[in-house]
Structure 1
Amino acid sequence: MSTEAGVGVMGTKLGMMSYFETDGTVVPVTVEGFREGNIVTQVKTSATDDYDVVQVGYRRVRDKKLTKPELGHLGKAGVIPMRHLQEFKLQSVEEFETGQKLSVEEIFKEGDLVDVSGTTIGKGFQGFFFESFSFLYHNVGLIGLAIQIPYWWNSHTALGSIGAGTTPGRVYKGKKILGIMGGSKRKIRKLKIVKIDNEHRVVMIKGAVPSKPGNLLRITPAKIVGKNIPKN
Structure 2
Amino acid sequence: MASLLTTLGLRTSLRAECRLYSTAAAGLPKWTPNAVRTGVIARKKGMTAMWDEWGVRIPVTVLQLEQCQVVSVLTEEKDGYTALQIGSSDKSRKNVTMPLQGHFDAHGVEPKRKLFEFRVTPDAVLPVGTELVASHFVPGQFVDCSAPTMGKGFQGAMKRHGFGGQPASHGTSVTHRSLGSVGQRKDPGKVFKGKKMAGRMGGEQATVQNLKVMKIDNALNLLYIKGAIPGVDNQFIKIKDAVKKRGESIAPKDCLPLPFPTVDPELVKAMPRELVAKTGGSDPLVIQE
Structure 1 counterpart SS, 2:195: coil
User: Quick one: structure 1 residues 95 and 127, their matched pair in 2 at CA, closer, same or farther if it must change by over 3 Å?
Assistant: closer
Identity %: 35
Question: Structure 1 pair 221/194, CA: closer, same or farther in 2 (3 Å)?
Answer: same
Q: How does 1:60-139 map to 2 (within 5 A)?
A: 60-92=90-122, 95-105=125-135, 107-127=136-156, 135-139=158-162
TM-score calculated relative to the size of structure 2? 0.67
Whether contact under 8 Å (1:56, 1:85) holds in the other structure is: yes
Partner in structure 1 of residue 199 of structure 2: 179
- In the TM superposition, residue 93 of structure 1 has moved relative to its aligned partner by 5.2
Aligned in 2, Cα 1:112/1:21: closer, same or farther, shift over 3 Å? same
Cα RMSD, aligned residues only = 2.5
Q: Which amino acid in structure 2 is aligned with residue 81 of structure 1? A: P
1:61 deviates by 1.1
8 Å contact from structure 2 (residues 149, 205) kept in 1: yes
Aligned partner letter, 2:221: R
Q: CA deviation at 1:97?
A: 1.3
Aligned partner of 2:45: which letter? Answer: L
Superposed CA offset, 1:57-107 (max 9, x none): 1011111221111111011110111111110011225541111112221x2
Q: Which residue of 2 aligns with 1:208?
A: 228
Unaligned 5+ residue runs, structure 2? 1-34, 249-289
Report which of the two has the higher share of strand. 1
| 1:32 pairs with 2:55 | no
| 1:144–1:221 Cα change, 3 Å | farther
User: Which one has the bigger helix percentage?
Assistant: 2
TM-score, scaled relative to structure 1: 0.82
The alignment covers a number of residue pairs equal to 212
SS of residue matched to 1:76: helix
Residue 18 of structure 1: CA displacement?
A: 1.1
Moved more, 58-67 or 162-171: 162-171
Indicate the SS of the match to 1:40.
strand
Unaligned runs of 5+ in 1: 129-134
Mapped partners of 1:99, 1:177: distance in 2: 48
